[in-house]
């Protein structure tokens, strides 16, 4: 599992994705104006990933579920993909809890 930092060509903001070994995105960040802020976001994911109280399960209008990982002050750090099943969502949360604290960081903006 790894974090990938990238910059959007559309708005020049920095984002990160937490990807599973198969390349599937498990968690995505909001946009950050500075790369350092995106790196801080990754550290916040690592810090809060193991705390069950930091996960907020939500339902989209189409009925699919997703989760948000929040900091202890309830600020959203990252948002998951959409899940059709509750078991898939729970597996996604468990994967973040288990793997995020030690996941490597790959900076796709580095030249």
Mean pLDDT calculated for residue range 60-81: 92
CATH number at 42 reads: 2.30.29.80
Please provide the DSSP assignment of 22-61 as one string: TS-EEEEE--BSSHHHHHHHHHHHHHHTT-GGGEEEEE-T
pLDDT at 109 over 70: yes
Indicate if the pLDDT at residue 69 is higher than 90.
Answer: yes
User: Which residue range forms the structural domain that includes residue 88?
Assistant: 2-107
Number of domains the chain contains: 1
Give per-residue pLDDT as tens, 4-54: 999 998 999 999 999 988 888 999 999 999 999 999 999 999 999 999 999
pLDDT of residue 111: 65
What is the value of pTM for the model shown? Answer: 0.90
């Amino acid at each position: 599992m790894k974090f990938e930092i990238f910059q959007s060509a559309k708005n020049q903001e920095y984002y990160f994705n937490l990807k599973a070994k198969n390349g599937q995105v498990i968690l995505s960040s909001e946009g950050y104006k500075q790369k350092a802020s995106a790196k801080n976001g990754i550290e916040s994911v690592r810090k809060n990933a193991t705390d069950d109280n930091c996960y907020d399960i939500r339902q989209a209008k189409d009925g699919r579920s997703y989760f948000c990982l929040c900091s202890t002050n309830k600020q959203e750090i990252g948002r998951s993909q959409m899940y059709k099943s509750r078991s898939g969502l729970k597996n996604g949360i468990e994967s973040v809890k288990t793997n995020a604290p030690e996941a490597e960081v790959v900076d796709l903006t580095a030249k």
